[in-house]
Structure 1
Amino acid sequence: MPLPFLTADRAFDEAADDVALPYDDRDTWRRPYRPGPWRVAAAALLLLLASYVLFAAVIIAVAGETPGAMACGAGASLVIAAAVRMLRVGTWVSARGLRQVGFLRTRTVAWARVAAVRTTQQPVRWLGLPRTVQGQALVLVVQDGEALAAPLLTDRNADFLSRSEAFERAADAVEAWADEYRAAA
């Protein structure tokens, strides 16, 4: 079963360096980078936990305790939903705009409202924790002149920790989408 939210299109990896936007269908929301190993590992651990909980639900159901089995099944469903949502977190682009998907909230900005997308040096959160370190961040500035509260990408988040080349390539891809569609809007 293909999992389109898990990997970026293969066209991005196979495209020549001079082609910034190698996608054929630009109306589809896509993440122009692969999820990082920290994010995938956390989701894998959650799915492993869910498998244990589902196994416990089967044992409880065989023992004849249907309400307990249903509670375990519901808990496992929540853990699975959290793992899938964790894999979807990131910055997504399409011809309609830019979408920042968080664990609990999604924010979409149309290209007409985007003033600039740029990489800056600033304090960033390390793996999403409250601790901040100096790093690079891809910041979205809207027409009002203010930057969004959370950066689009950082080189210290779960996708790009210890992968500076991947961060640069993803930032360049998002900036290329912004340059093309801001000019068209």
Structure 2
Amino acid sequence: MPLPFLTADRAFETADDVALPYHDRDRWRRPYRPGPWRVGAAAILLLLASFVLFSAVIIAATASPSSAGVVFGVALVAIVGALRLLRMGTWVSAHGLRQVGLFTTRTVPWDQVVAVRTVQQPVRWLGLPRTVQGQALLLVRRGRPATPAEPLLTSHNADFLGRGTAFDRAADSVEVWADEYRRD
């Protein structure tokens, strides 16, 4: 079963001369692949879910079906959490820019985007409270002068930790999408 949200289009690896190598620009896509930290955490969560599912089968055979149903529900929550973890990231299309988090999704239309730029600043390490010096791709929105720019990607998140070149490519491609579609 193909999981289209796991893979970025391979056109970025082959077509260096084309900035936006997509045929269907109305489709939401992540212009980079999920990093090994994100994929590893999802794999461990799915492994845990398989053990919980196995225990649900044993509980269903030996105990009441209601307790097996509760354990089965816990396994489903773990599976949904792992899939949502894999879906997290920054997505782009001709409609705008979408930032998918674990519990929330924010979509900003291109006409509300003032700038998308890469800056050096303290960033959170793997989303934890600890900060380190790194790079962040910032989104500056129209009509929000009092709020600070929102980081879309950081060089030390689960997708780009230890993958500086991948961060540079992803930041460049999001900036190209912004330059192509935002209106001044």
| TM-score normalised by structure 2 residue count | 0.96
Distance in 1, matches of 2:78 and 2:62, equals 23
- 1:170 maps to 170
State the AA in 1 paired with 2:93.
S
Matches within 5 A, 1:48-127: 48-127=47-126
- C-alpha deviation, 1:20, in angstroms: 1.1
- C-alpha deviation, 1:68, in angstroms: 1.2
Distance in 2, matches of 1:13 and 1:31, equals 14
- 2:157 maps to 157
- C-alpha deviation, 1:14, in angstroms: 2.3
Is the partner of 2:151 in helix, strand or coil? coil
- 1:182 maps to 182
Distance in 2, matches of 1:119 and 1:79, equals 34
Is the partner of 1:40 in helix, strand or coil? helix
Which stretches in structure 2 are left out of the alignment for 5+ residues?
none
Distance in 1, matches of 2:17 and 2:9, equals 17
Is the partner of 1:130 in helix, strand or coil? coil
How many residues are matched? 183
Which stretches in structure 1 are left out of the alignment for 5+ residues?
none
- C-alpha deviation, 1:149, in angstroms: 5.6
- Contact preservation (8 Å) 1:140, 1:148: no
Flag as ranges the 4+ runs of structure 1 deviating above 6 A: none
Distance in 1, matches of 2:153 and 2:65, equals 45
Matches within 5 A, 1:4-19: 4-15=4-15, 17-19=16-18
Residue by residue, what CA displacement relative to the aligned partner does 1:134-182 show, whole Å, maximum 9, x if unpaired? 1000000011254666410000000000000000000000000000001
- Contact preservation (8 Å) 1:121, 1:135: yes
RMSD, matched Cα? 1.3
Q: Which moved more, 1:61-70 or 1:96-105?
A: 61-70
